[in-house]
Structure 1
Amino acid sequence: PRPHPAYGDQFNEEGIPGVPGEGRVLLRWQTVRVHGARLRRPVLRFEDLAYGPLGPVLTSPRVGQQVVGMGLIDAVPAATLEALAEAPKPDTVRGRVNRVWNPETGATEVGRFGHKANMPSLRAQIAGAFLGDLGITSPLHPAENCTPVQTACRRAPSGGAPELSAQQLDEVTYYLAQLAVPPRRGADDPAVRRGEARFAALGCTACHRPMLRTGDSASPALAHQDIAPYTDLLLHDMGPGLADWRPDFAAGGREWRTPPLWGLGLTAAVSERARYLHDGRARSLHEAILWHGGEATVARQRYAALGAAGRAELMAFLGSL
């Protein structure tokens, strides 16, 4: 997406001392009926805009993603993802890679990080977050994150050119690459094992693939490992219900990257509240599954047909991840 000429590509409500925020975003939840259930979706309103009207823009709210196992995901070869995209799949599931710009190599590469797989590497993801979330420049993004009309931002003291050195970026990247995936809990419990079998029988593994293998990596601990992220890292059309209608490189407005599920069962333990999907609309895994559409329609229909016991076993499995 092209950045807004006044507000850039990420709306920031706050600024450092002396730099006003860009405005306020008011979030309300609209109740909708989806597949017989009362669910909710977000509605945004922008107020107190500091640099004039937004005009016609595409917006898409986000919640932060987990940061475990990122070094392992970074080490999965691009050729593996391209092969997964080409492989035949059941239930009209397709899947494709996003093609994104890598500011470090100056080339178009396979995307793997972000809700729409719009980042090609962990280093690029971190440098982009430093700039977009914190306004900190780096060798990958040396220009200050201030639009021409944001005069206070442009006059603010600089922390250097760039503010984050290549060594510091390398050190942060190494740290995040080494954050381990939490071990599973109760994996041998009979209910969990039955739930795992149901997960496969429903067709969930067509996208949430249980096993990938890493390739070469600068860190020997990450190289050539069999991992269980429960993702194919591909884009899938999830239907109009989840669509934000905002393209991102090759990703369309209805497409989302399959999120990794490892660590899923600890969401409530590490978060202020358990919220799921890209914008936090789902208050439970049950709601998150009901929002699945598009390529996931058949799997969702099978889930809807499960009885209470079958759903409990499935949730036991997901909680063990």
Structure 2
Amino acid sequence: RMTIDYREEDVTLGDGSTVSLRHPTYGVADLAYGPLGEDTTLSPRIANPMIGLGLVQAIEPADILAHADPDDADGDGVSGRPNIVSDTVTGEVKLGRFGWKAQNATIHDQSVGAMSGDIGVSSPDAPNPYGDCSEAEAACLAMPTGVQPRLGDTEAPDPVMELITFYAENLAVPARRDVDDPEVLRGKQVFYEAGCTACHAPKFVTSREAENPAHRFQLIWPYSDFLLHDMGEGLADGQQVAMANGREWRTAPLWGNGLTEVVNDHSFFLHDGRARNRTEAILWHGGEAQTARDNFANAAKEDRDALIKFLESL
């Protein structure tokens, strides 16, 4: 049973107003198999939005790598480096671009991993029907699985994963709203001037060679560079995922975030949902994003409000 304790801490903005951030502490109670190993890390997740994934997959790797600056050669304090991972089907080394730490190179890999690790459903590329149950969890391993021999050796035999992958590849990005609103336009200007675009790269053009013709040569506005960035100790989770260390996170795409409340019936942001609104999410930024975060915190209230309204229009 997971436990979560929150500690509230007031952050003072440049105009003297305060915002309360909640610091989570995670634990596990009622352990059935003894204490956890000393090297165990706990890093809860909320689900990534699934819109526009096929378009992200259609970006040429070179266009993403062009934003990388691992040694901060331009001296702006923002590095950005790729997560290089293995394709679970071919074993080919590829650029990671999906998941909170860009740990998956393809939508297929992201889908297979979610089916197995999140809900314990096996498929040909992840055939363990017990999901992430360990050898020590005898009660879990004694439970029946969903394998039906007449259909195959896994719970999601072919073509189930192909259909799930196709669905995930083709969920559309919602149209923007209020694009001509003066406050939205002012907020976009503040967003750029604060330095947010150093990581939240506004646009890409997808490849002319994309596998799906519907994804080819499109101008898209995800507001992400899909690279790893050190976000500071406040957001660090201590977990190494492929080449991503415990302080690094993939820049979260911002398209569609303005409909979070409509779709999810909540306004929780960041990898574990600790931020209860967009302002809190920005104020949690540290590390490479510290300067942009401070520019937001020190801005006039009307500029902060305009920036939030811009985000809500995406």
After TM superposition, the score normalised by the length of structure 1 is 0.88
CA distance in 2, matches of 1:76, 1:89: 24
Q: After superposition, where does 1:179-194 map in structure 2 within 5 Å?
A: 179-194=171-186
Give yes or no for the alignment of 1:79 onto 2:62.
Answer: yes
The answer for the alignment partner of 1:262 in structure 2 is 255
How many Å separate the matches in 1 of 2:276 and 2:68?
31
Structure 1 residues 282, 176: closer, same or farther in 2, change over 3 A?
same
Shift, 1:34, TM fit: 4.6
* Residues 1:28 and 2:15 are matched in the alignment: no
TM-aligned CA deviation for residue 88 of structure 1? 5.8
Q: Does 1:301 align with 2:294?
A: yes
Aligned partner of residue 93 in structure 2, secondary structure: strand
Kindly indicate whether the alpha-carbon contact (under 8 Å) linking 1:35 and 1:290 is maintained by their aligned counterparts in 2: no
Write out per-residue CA displacement over residues 224-264 of structure 1, whole angstroms, 9 at most, x where no aligned residue: 21100000000001111111121111111111100000011
**Cα contact 2:27–2:42 (8 A) shared by 1:** no
Match of 2:145 in 1: 157
Distance in 1 separating the partners of 2:25 and 2:262: 27
Show the 5 A alignment for 1:133-144. Answer: 133-144=118-129
Match of 1:46 among 28, 36, 50: 28
145-154 or 99-108, larger mean C-alpha shift: 145-154
1:196 aligns with 2:178: no
Partners of 1:307 and 1:55 in 2: CA distance: 48
After TM superposition, give the deviation of residue 64 of structure 1 in Å: 1.1
Distance in 2, Cα, partners of 1:268 & 1:90: 38
Q: 1:267-306 counterparts in 2 under 5 A? A: 267-306=260-299
Between Structure 1 and Structure 2, how many residues are aligned?
Answer: 298
Q: Cα deviations across residues 127-185 of structure 1 (Å, max 9, x unaligned)?
A: 00110112111121123323222334334234141221232111111111111001000
| Equivalent in the alignment of 1:13 | none
Moved more, 241-250 or 47-56: 47-56
Q: What CA distance in whole angstroms lies between the structure 1 residues aligned with 2:26 and 2:294?
A: 30
Where in structure 2 are there 5+ consecutive unaligned residues? 14-18
Is the contact between residue 54 and residue 168 of structure 2 (CA under 8 Å) also seen in structure 1?
yes
Write the distance in 1 (CA, Å) between the matches of 2:30 and 2:125: 32
Distance 1:320 1:96 in 2: 29
Give 1:147's aligned amino acid: S
SS of the residue 1:221 aligns to: helix
Residue 90 of structure 1, CA deviation? 6.4
1:306 Cα deviation from its structure 2 partner: 0.8
Partner of 1:218 in structure 2? 211
Do the aligned partners of residues 88 and 206 (structure 1) sit closer, same or farther apart at CA in structure 2, a change above 3 Å counting?
Answer: farther
CA contact (8 A) 1:69 1:181 kept: yes
Matches of 2:277 and 2:86, distance apart in 1: 34
Q: Is the 8 A contact 2:183 2:306 kept in 1?
A: yes
Q: Given the superposition, is the C-alpha separation of residues 89 and 69 from structure 1 closer, same or farther in structure 2, using an over 3 Å criterion?
A: farther
Shift of 1:91: 2.8
* 1:14 aligned residue: none
Separation in 1, partners of 2:74, 2:227:
13
Letter in 2 for 1:305: N
Partner of 2:197 in structure 1? 205
Change (3 A) 1:230 1:88: farther
Match of 2:242 in 1: 249
The superposition leaves residues 180-236 of structure 1 with CA deviations (integer Å, 9 ceiling, x where unpaired) of: 001000011111111111111111111111101222322211122110000000000
- Whether 1:119 and 2:111 are equivalent positions in the alignment is no
Q: Structure 1 residues 245-254 or 211-220, which shifts more?
A: 211-220
What amino acid is the match of 2:137? Q
Q: Tell me, in whole angstroms, the C-alpha distance in 2 between the residues paired with 1:115 and 1:68.
A: 15
CA distance in 1, matches of 2:33, 2:261: 38
CA distance in 2 between counterparts of 1:90 and 1:202 reads 16
Distance 2:252 2:184 in 1: 21
Structure 1 runs not aligned, ≥5 long = 1-23
Counterparts of residues 166-177 of structure 1 (less than 5 Å)? 166-177=158-169
What's the % identity of the aligned pairs? 44
- What is the alpha-carbon root mean square deviation over aligned residues? 1.7
